[in-house]
Amino acid sequence: MQSKRYAVTGGIGSGKSAVLGFLKEWGFPVFSCDAISHELWKDESYLSGLEARFPGCVRGGTLDRKALSALVFEDENAYLRLNAYAHPRIMEELLKRTEGMLSFSEVPLLFEGGFEKMFDGVIAVRREKEVRVAAVMERDGSTRAAVLRRMARQIDPQTLDGRCIVIENDSTREVLREKTKCALKALGIEI
């Protein structure tokens, strides 16, 4: 099997996780930057770095996610500081885990972080904005305003044409599955 790393990206609520689910079902190794981030929340040295940058966000050796989220989603500088600290650690761990294999990794802020160069190819999942907003509100119990703030920090999905293989998530789950197969073919990968 070839040794290549592929990223799966897209805005919040676009359907990245569904595409990764299909890939896993078909036997491909799949990884998630969000899952790695959650693992780092249990690492004492990582947490002490967070506490130094965001006092009061770590309590009793545990990350207070709500406090950190409230801070970084209201303050652009705090958001940038968090990304500057977290993203290199997450990507370093991801690259270790995917070494020497054909793999697919969910990387939500791929283009925003300039990480696309680390991968042999990119699949972007795109979905109509209002459908995404509704999906995230239902999934996370978030307000519309909170979802829109998160979306505003992500790349405009319409700018992805020509930069990667784009899957339009605009129909049923089965149609999304078939489009994912077509994306693999475009990358020269057989199921």
Listed by start position, the domains of the chain span 1-29+103-191, 35-97
Question: What is the C-alpha R_g of the chain?
Answer: 17
Q: Which of 110, 105, 136 is nearest to 31 (CA)?
A: 105
- Tell me which residue has tokens 């697919």: 104
Q: What is the rounded distance in angstroms from the CA atom of residue 146 to the CA atom of residue 177? A: 30
Q: Which of 53, 7, 33 is nearest to 93 (CA)?
A: 33
pLDDT (tens, 9 = 90+) of the chain, 191 residues, equals: 568 999 999 999 999 999 999 999 999 999 999 999 999 999 999 999 999 999 999 999 999 999 998 899 889 999 999 999 999 999 999 999 999 999 999 999 999 999 999 999 999 999 999 999 999 999 999 999 989 988 999 998 889 888 899 999 999 999 999 999 999 999 999 98
Q: Which CATH class is domain 1-29+103-191?
A: alpha beta
| Strand, helix or coil for residue 190 | coil
Reading the block at residue 43, the tokens are: 């690492």
- Tell me which residue has tokens 């965001």: 54
Query: In terms of DSSP bridges, do strands 58-59 and 62-63 run parallel, antiparallel, or are they unpaired?
Result: antiparallel
